[in-house]
C-alpha cells in the first residue's frame, strides 16, 4: 500500500521546485517596470486567457463549490453560474477600454482622465483592501485544506502552512514579477483542468454517461431526495431576508469580477485591446468548462462517496473533491486511491499558490505605482526605483497577510471571498464604468463612489449574522456541538445561537440579517459616485471635457495606449 501523504508531499515538492525554477528564469528576463507590472505586455491571448483562468479559479471555487454541491446540492451551482456569467460584463464593458486607457494598475485607468491624486489614492486603497481580504480567505483556507489533505490538524501545522504559502507567494512576486506569476498561473490552470477533466470523465463513465442517472444517484445518496437537485437547501432556505441574501450574493458575484484588481491587471499583459478581448474569450471557454465539470464532480462526490461521509470528514465539505478522487482511484487503502488523492491534493495546492501570487502582485503594484510613485513622489521616480518599491511592498503586504491569516486561522473566513467580490462591485465598478463612459463624471464622484461602496460593504457585513450569530427567523437556532458551545461560551443546550462561527457574539442578534452586503452596498456605491458628480458638476472645466475626449479616443481606438 502506498501512503498518500508521502506521495502528496512529493508532488507538492515537484510543483514548488518547477514553479520556483520558472520564476527564477522569468525574473532574469524582467528588466523594465512594464516587465515587472505587466509581463512586458508580451503574452499571447491564449497564454493570458489560461493565466486569467489560473488567477480566477481559486481553491474556493474548486474545493469549495464541489463541497457545497456535494452537501447542499444545486445551490453550489449558483456560485458556478455567478462566477462565469460575470465575464460578460468584463468582456463587453471593461477589458478593452481598460487595456487601452490604463498602464499598470486599476487606478491608472480610473485616474487617467480625472488626473487627481485623491482618485488614485482612493482606487489604490480599494485595490489593496480587496486583495488583502481575498488573500486572507485563501491563506486561512489553504491552512485548513492542506491540514486536511495531509491529515495533520495541529495548530502549529496550520501556522506553518500559512507562513510557507506566504513565503512562496512573496518569492514568486518579488523574483518573477508579472512574468513569473503568469507562468505559475498557466501551469496551475493546466493542472487544474487536467485534474478536473480526469475526474469528470471518470464519474460520467461510472454512470454510462447518463446525466439523469448521476443526478438520481446524487439525490438518493444525499439523503435529501429531489430537494437536493433544486435551489434552496443552503441559500434562501428560511425567511424573506434569506431570499434577499441569495439575490445579494448573485448580484455581487456578477458585478464584482469585472472590478477585481488582480483580474484587471491581467489585461495589461497583452499587446493591445483586441488581444485583451481574445484572452477573455479564452478565459470564458476555460472557466465555463471548468464550472461545468465541478457540477459533475460535486454531484459525483454526493452520489459515489455520499454526503454523510463527506460531512464527517469536514463539515464544510472541502474534502469532497479529494474524497471522490480517492474513491475513483480504488478507494481508501488502495494504491490507485492514494495516487489519485495525492494528485488532486497537489492540484489544490497549486491552485492556492497561483491565486495568492496574483493577489500579492496586484496589491504591491498598486502600492508602488499608485500610492508611492503616483502620489507620494508625484511621478518623480525611475522605473528601477518603482520596481524596487513594488518588491518591498510585496514583502510587506505578504507579511501583513501572513500575520492577519495566522491571527484569523481559527475563524470562519469563507465570507471574505464574497465580501471581496461585493467591495469590488460596490467601490471599484462605479468608478471604472463612470470614468470610462460618463462625460460629466468628476473627481469628487470617483472618490465618493469608491469610499461609499467600500465603507458601506464593510459596515453591512459588520452588522450581519457573520459577526452577530444570535438566532432569528433568518438564522434559526442550531444544535451546538460541545466544541462550538465552548467557543461561544454558552451551555450546549443554549437555543439562542443561529451561527456558531460568528466573529463577535454567538447570541446577540444581527441588526442587518444579510450576510452578503452587495444588495445594499452596490447601489450605495453607484449613488455616491453619481451624487458626488452632480454636486460638483459646476466645477467641471473645459480641460476636464478635453481629458474625457482623449480617454474616449484612446479607449476605442488604442491610439496613444501603452
8 A C-beta contact, residue 463 and residue 511: yes
Contact of 368 with 389, CB cutoff 8 Å? yes
Q: If residue 330 lies in a helix (H) or strand (E), which one and from where to where? A: none
The pairs formed by 435-438 with CB atoms below 8 angstroms and a separation of 24 or more are 435/109, 435/110, 435/112, 435/113, 435/114, 435/551, 436/93, 436/94, 436/97, 436/98, 436/101, 436/109, 436/551, 436/555, 437/93, 438/533
Write out the three cell numbers for 522: 452596490
Stretch touching other proteins by CB under 8 A, among 247-255, 388-396, 397-405, 467-475: 247-255
Applying CB under 8 A, does 552 fall inside the site for other proteins?
yes
Q: What is the rounded distance in angstroms from the CA atom of residue 253 to the CA atom of residue 519?
A: 11
For residues 532 to 551, the per-residue mask of contacts with other proteins, x marking binding by CB under 8 A and - elsewhere, is --------------x--xx-
For the bound state, the minimum distance from the C-beta of residue 148 to other proteins, rounded and expressed in Å, comes to 29
Q: How far is CA 439 from CA 275, 429, 433, 534, in A?
A: 27, 16, 11, 12
> Residues 54-93 vs other proteins: string with x where CB under 8 A?
--------------------x--xx--x--xx-xxx-xxx
Q: How far is the CB of 254 from other proteins (least distance, A)?
A: 6
Q: What is the dihedral of CA 116, 121, 124, 129, to 10 degrees?
A: -150
CB closer to other proteins out of 232 and 523: 232
What's the min distance (Å) between Cβ of 237 and other proteins? 10
Q: Does 290 bind other proteins (CB under 8 A)?
A: no
Count of residues engaged in binding other proteins, rule: CB under 8 A: 54
Residue placing its CB nearer to other proteins in the complex, 158 or 554: 554
Helices and strands (H and E) in the chain: how many: 24, 0
Residue nearer to other proteins on the CB measure, 291 or 343: 291
Residue of the chain from 10, 21, 285, 504 that contacts other proteins (CB under 8 A): 285
Question: Which of 16, 292, 395, 396 forms a contact with other proteins (CB under 8 A)?
Answer: 292
Q: Which of 6, 32, 153, 230 binds other proteins (CB under 8 A)?
A: 230
DSSP one-letter string for 406-422: HHTTTS--THHHHHHHH
- By beta-carbon proximity to other proteins, the closer residue of 183 and 241 is 241
Please identify, using beta-carbon distances, which residue of 35 and 245 lies nearer to other proteins.
245
3-state class (DSSP) for residue 44: coil
Interface of this chain with other proteins, residues 487 to 516, rule: CB under 8 A: none
Nearer to other proteins, 125 or 252 (CB): 252
CB 449 within 8 Å of CB 431: yes
Nearer to other proteins, 175 or 203 (CB): 203
Under the binding rule (CB under 8 A), the answer on residue 518 touching other proteins is no
Match 481508501 to its residue by C-alpha cell: 332
Determine the Cα–Cα distance for residues 347 and 290; give it in Å rounded to an integer.
14
Q: Does 422 bind other proteins (CB under 8 A)?
A: no
Alpha-helix residue ranges (DSSP H) falling in 29-44: 33-38
Q: Which of 5, 277, 311, 440 forms a contact with other proteins (CB under 8 A)?
A: 277
User: Measured from the CB of residue 388, what is the shortest distance to other proteins in angstroms?
Assistant: 33
Do residues 121 and 370 lie in contact, with contact meaning Cβ atoms separated by under 8 Å? yes
Binding flag, residue 284, other proteins (CB under 8 A): yes
The answer to whether the CB of 424 falls within 8 A of the CB of 256 is: yes
- Element of type H or E holding 341: helix 335-366
Query: What letter does residue 260 receive in the DSSP assignment?
Result: -
Q: Tell me the torsion sign for CA atoms 159, 164, 169, 171.
A: positive
Site string for other proteins, 432-461 (x = CB under 8 A): -----x------------------------
The residues in 89-118 that bind other proteins, with binding defined as CB under 8 A, are 89, 91-93
Which residue, among 292, 319, 286, has the nearest Cα to 148 in the 3D structure? 319
* Closest distance of CB 499 from other proteins, Å: 21
* Interface positions with other proteins (CB under 8 A): 74, 77-78, 81, 84-85, 87-89, 91-93, 211-213, 215-216, 219, 226, 229-232, 235-236, 243-244, 246-247, 250-251, 254, 274, 277-278, 280-281, 284-285, 288, 291-292, 437, 546, 549-550, 552-554, 556-560
Amino acid at each position: 500500500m502506498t501512503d498518500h501523504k508521502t506521495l502528496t508531499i512529493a508532488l507538492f515538492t515537484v510543483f514548488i521546485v518547477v514553479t520556483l525554477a520558472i520564476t527564477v528564469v522569468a525574473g532574469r528576463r524582467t528588466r523594465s517596470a512594464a516587465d515587472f507590472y505587466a509581463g512586458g505586455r508580451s503574452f499571447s491571448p491564449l497564454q493570458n486567457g489560461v493565466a486569467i483562468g489560473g488567477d480566477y479559479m481559486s481553491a474556493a471555487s474548486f474545493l469549495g463549490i464541489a463541497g457545497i454541491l456535494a452537501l447542499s446540492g444545486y445551490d453550489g451551482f449558483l456560485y458556478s453560474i455567478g462566477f462565469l456569467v460575470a465575464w460578460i460584463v468584463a468582456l463587453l464593458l471593461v477589458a478593452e477600454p481598460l487595456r487601452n486607457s490604463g498602464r499598470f494598475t486599476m487606478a491608472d485607468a480610473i485616474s487617467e482622465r480625472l488626473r487627481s491624486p485623491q482618485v488614485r489614492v482612493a482606487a489604490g486603497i480599494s485595490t489593496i483592501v480587496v486583495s488583502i481580504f481575498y488573500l486572507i480567505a485563501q491563506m486561512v483556507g489553504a491552512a485548513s485544506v492542506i491540514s486536511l489533505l495531509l491529515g495533520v490538524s495541529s495548530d502549529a501545522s496550520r501556522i506553518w502552512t500559512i507562513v510557507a504559502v506566504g513565503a512562496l507567494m512573496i518569492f514568486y512576486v518579488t523574483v518573477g514579477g508579472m512574468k513569473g506569476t503568469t507562468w505559475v498561473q498557466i501551469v496551475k490552470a493546466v493542472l487544474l483542468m487536467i485534474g478536473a477533466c480526469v475526474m469528470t470523465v471518470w464519474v460520467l463513465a461510472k454512470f454510462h454517461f447518463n446525466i439523469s442517472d448521476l443526478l438520481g444517484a446524487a439525490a438518493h445518496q444525499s439523503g435529501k431526495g429531489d430537494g437536493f437537485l433544486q435551489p434552496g437547501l443552503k441559500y434562501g432556505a428560511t425567511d424573506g431576508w434569506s431570499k434577499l441574501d441569495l439575490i445579494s450574493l448573485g448580484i455581487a458575484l456578477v458585478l464584482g469580477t469585472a472590478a477585481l484588481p488582480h483580474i484587471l491587471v491581467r489585461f495589461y499583459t497583452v499587446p493591445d485591446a483586441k488581444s485583451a478581448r481574445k484572452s477573455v474569450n479564452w478565459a470564458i471557454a476555460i472557466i465555463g468548462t471548468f464550472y461545468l465539470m465541478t457540477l459533475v464532480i460535486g454531484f459525483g462526490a454526493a452520489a459515489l462517496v455520499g454526503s454523510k461521509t463527506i460531512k464527517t470528514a469536514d463539515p464544510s465539505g472541502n474534502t469532497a473533491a479529494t474524497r471522490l478522487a480517492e474513491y475513483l482511484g480504488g478507494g481508501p487503502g488502495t494504491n490507485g486511491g492514494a495516487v489519485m488523492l495525492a494528485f488532486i491534493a497537489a492540484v489544490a495546492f497549486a491552485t492556492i499558490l497561483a491565486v495568492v501570487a496574483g493577489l500579492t502582485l496586484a496589491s504591491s503594484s498598486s502600492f508602488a505605482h499608485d500610492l508611492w510613485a503616483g502620489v507620494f513622489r508625484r511621478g518623480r521616480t525611475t522605473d528601477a526605483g518603482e520596481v524596487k518599491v513594488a518588491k518591498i511592498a510585496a514583502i510587506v503586504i505578504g507579511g501583513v497577510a501572513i500575520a492577519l491569516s495566522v491571527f484569523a486561522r481559527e475563524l470562519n473566513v469563507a465570507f471574505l471571498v464574497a465580501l471581496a467580490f461585493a467591495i469590488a462591485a460596490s467601490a471599484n465598478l462605479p468608478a471604472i464604468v463612470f470614468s470610462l463612459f460618463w462625460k460629466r463624471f468628476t473627481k469628487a464622484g470617483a472618490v465618493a463612489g469608491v469610499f461609499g461602496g467600500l465603507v458601506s460593504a464593510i459596515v453591512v457585513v459588520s452588522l450581519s449574522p457573520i459577526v452577530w450569530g444570535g438566532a432569528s427567523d433568518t438564522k434559526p437556532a442550531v444544535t451546538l456541538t460541545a466544541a462550538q458551545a465552548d467557543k461561544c461560551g454558552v451551555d450546549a443546550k443554549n437555543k439562542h445561537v443561529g451561527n456558531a462561527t460568528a466573529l463577535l457574539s454567538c447570541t446577540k442578534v444581527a441588526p442587518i440579517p444579510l450576510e452578503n452586503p452587495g444588495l445594499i452596498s452596490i447601489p450605495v456605491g453607484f449613488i455616491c459616485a453619481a451624487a458626488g458628480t452632480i454636486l460638483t458638476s459646476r466645477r467641471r472645466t473645459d480641460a476636464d471635457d478635453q481629458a474625457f475626449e482623449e480617454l474616449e479616443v484612446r479607449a476605442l481606438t488604442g491610439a496613444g495606449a501603452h
